[in-house]
């Protein structure tokens, strides 16, 4: 098939790769414009644009590039911009969405599934509509959430979605007869910075879910401490207190202790929690917030 591909982050790359490997003619790839990324703050291409150039595909950074393009379908995977209804009327589009729709329509479905403690999530191929993630489903696949981090779960769903997309495009029945979404609708609102700020009033399970988003932080002696990895603790700590015992650093939550495994102090590199504690030279137990 002749396809246009719209996507931007790393999670969209497996779908683009799979389409090329399956022999589809990707006429043009639309991605967000180059921007400053990384510590060096250098201008660089999005992961999708880089992958497209590696395949020798034509790339553009705006939807206007589709004005004179004739394709069978547009494929949208985390593009990062609303596709206008007028364009959808001219080009039918399929969207790879990382949730079990209609649960977690919106911007942060993977993170919201983790925060809510969902037992499973999945990926769906839907017909794109002008309204948010409301289109009928052509196919769906499921997986357990378990204790996966956001990046681990996203990578898994991206691979699943890529395979599912190729299967749908090869199946005229699936393309022609999608089914309506059924079930309770929930919305995956964009995550604010405060979502990642752990609080002593959180339960242990709530805190561990936030840590699995890989941006969790607390304030210790007025400085930000990122919690990169943590687990259920075997050492006690009172709520709002953090301390070390026998090389184990424990942080007290509302109903139990969380053992810190890897952290990143403000202005420093990542390290083991034990190394951080040994370096800060604080009293045996101090408050955190």
Over residues 184-202, the pLDDT tens digits come to 999 999 999 999 999 999 9
Band of the pLDDT at 37, cuts 50, 70, 90? low
Band of the pLDDT at 5, cuts 50, 70, 90? very high
Of 284 and 67, the structure prediction assigns the larger pLDDT to 67
Closest C-alpha among 194, 216, 202 to residue 260: 216
- pLDDT tens by residue, 195-223: 999 999 999 999 999 999 999 999 998 99
Query: Could you tell me the two tokens for 24?
Result: 């589809």
Total Cβ atoms within 10 A of residue 215: 16
Band of the pLDDT at 29, cuts 50, 70, 90? very high
What angle separates helix 13-21 from helix 47-54, to the nearest 10 degrees? Answer: 20
> Phi first, then psi: what are they for 155, rounded to 5°?
-60, -40
Closest C-alpha among 145, 218, 139, 158 to residue 7: 158
DSSP 196: G
Give the span between the Cα atoms of 245 and 235, in whole angstroms: 7
End-to-end CA distance of the chain: 55
Closest C-alpha among 10, 127, 124 to residue 75: 127
Number of H helices, E strands in the chain: 8, 18
Q: Which domains are delineated in the chain?
A: 2-188 (3.40.50.170), 193-287 (3.10.25.10)
Give the span between the Cα atoms of 43 and 50, in whole angstroms: 13
Give the span between the Cα atoms of 139 and 288, in whole angstroms: 46
| Mean pLDDT in residue range 130-155 | 97
Question: pLDDT above 70 covers what percent of the chain?
Answer: 98
The pTM of the full predicted model, rounded to 2 decimals, is 0.93
Place of tokens 């649960």: 103
Band of the pLDDT at 271, cuts 50, 70, 90? very high
> Phi first, then psi: what are they for 56, rounded to 5°?
75, 30
Does 41 score more than 70 pLDDT?
Answer: no
Q: Average per-residue pLDDT in the chain? A: 94
Total Cβ atoms within 10 A of residue 4: 24
């Amino acid at each position: 098939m002749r396809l246009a591909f719209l996507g931007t982050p790393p999670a969209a790359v497996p779908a683009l790769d799979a389409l090329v490997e399956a022999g589809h003619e990707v006429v043009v790839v639309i991605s967000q414009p180059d921007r400053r990324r990384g510590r060096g703050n250098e201008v660089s291409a999005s992961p999708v644009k880089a992958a497209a150039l590696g395949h020798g595909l034509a790339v553009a950074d705006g939807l206007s590039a589709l004005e004179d393009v004739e394709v069978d379908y547009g494929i949208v995977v985390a593009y990062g911009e609303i596709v206008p209804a007028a364009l959808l009327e001219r080009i039918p589009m399929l969207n790879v969405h990382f949730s079990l729709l209609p649960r977690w329509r919106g911007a942060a479905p993977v993170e919201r599934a983790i925060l809510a403690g969902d037992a499973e999530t999945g990926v769906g191929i839907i017909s794109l509509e002008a309204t948010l993630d409301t289109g009928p489903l052509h196919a769906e696949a499921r997986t357990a959430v378990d204790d996966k981090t956001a990046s681990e779960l996203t990578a898994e769903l991206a691979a699943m979605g890529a395979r599912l997309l190729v299967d749908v495009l090869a199946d005229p029945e699936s393309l022609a007869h999608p089914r309506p979404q059924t079930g309770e609708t929930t919305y995956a609102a964009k995550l604010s910075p405060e979502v990642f700020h752990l609080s002593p009033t959180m339960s242990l399970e709530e805190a561990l879910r936030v840590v699995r988003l890989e941006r969790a932080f607390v304030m210790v002696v007025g400085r930000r401490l990122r919690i990169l990895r943590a687990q259920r603790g075997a050492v006690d700590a009172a709520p709002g207190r953090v301390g070390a015992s026998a090389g184990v650093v424990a942080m007290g939550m509302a109903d139990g202790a969380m053992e810190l495994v890897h952290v990143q102090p403000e202005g420093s590199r990542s390290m083991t929690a034990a190394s951080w504690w040994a370096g800060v030279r604080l009293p045996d137990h101090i408050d955190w917030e």
